[in-house]
């Protein structure tokens, strides 16, 4: 701690797996997941591969720009895979990776809890 009581940003690097430390990669990962659209996208993709327009219709209220950003973030985190489908008409499909599917189980439980307990 510094004399003011604030954490010293030059101290030792964080231990891996410390989500409370802003220097830990898991903290950054959790930050990207804490977006409502990221969580809803993960849950929606649990129903199987989806094209962008189908996913956007499923996620009422999301803009194309936001959806594109969320999908890029989730792909970068290794939770979603993007596949170019070369049938007519050519299109892109998004699916959960194995890692994303394991997270979806947790996210779906959270979503169902919110649905049951929102008042």
| Boundaries of every domain in the chain | 35-117
| Element housing 99 (H / E) | helix 98-117
Eight-state DSSP code of residue 45? G
Q: Determine the Cα–Cα distance for residues 52 and 49; give it in Å rounded to an integer.
A: 10
Whether the pTM exceeds 0.85: the reply is no
19-58 residue pLDDT tens: 888 888 888 888 888 889 999 999 999 999 999 999 999 9
Of 89, 90, 72, nearest to 81 (Cα)? 72
CATH for the 35-117 domain, from 1.10.10.10, 3.40.50.970, 3.40.1360.10, 1.10.10.1100: 1.10.10.10
Mean pLDDT of 83-104: 93
Question: What integer best gives the mean pLDDT of the chain?
Answer: 87
pLDDT for residue 8:
45
In DSSP terms, 96 is beta-bridged to 80
Q: Are 7 and 14 within 8 A, CB to CB?
A: no
Angle between helices 64-76 and 36-44 (to 10 degrees): 80
- Residue with the bigger pLDDT between 19 and 112: it is 112
- Residue with the bigger pLDDT between 15 and 62: it is 62
Whether the predicted pLDDT of 7 surpasses 50: no
- Report phi then psi at 62, rounded to 5: -85, 140
């Amino acid at each position: 701690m510094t004399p003011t009581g604030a954490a010293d940003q030059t101290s030792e690097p964080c231990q891996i797996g410390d989500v409370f430390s802003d220097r830990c990669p898991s903290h950054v990962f959790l930050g990207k997941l804490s977006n409502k659209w990221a969580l809803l996208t993960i849950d929606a993709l649990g129903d199987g591969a989806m094209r962008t327009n189908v996913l956007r219709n499923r996620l009422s209220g999301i803009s194309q720009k936001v959806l594109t950003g969320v999908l890029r973030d989730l792909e970068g985190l290794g939770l979603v895979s993007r596949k170019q489908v070369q049938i007519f008409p050519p299109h892109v499909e998004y699916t959960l990776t194995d890692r994303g599917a394991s997270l979806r189980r947790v996210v779906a439980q959270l979503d169902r809890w919110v649905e049951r307990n929102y008042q």
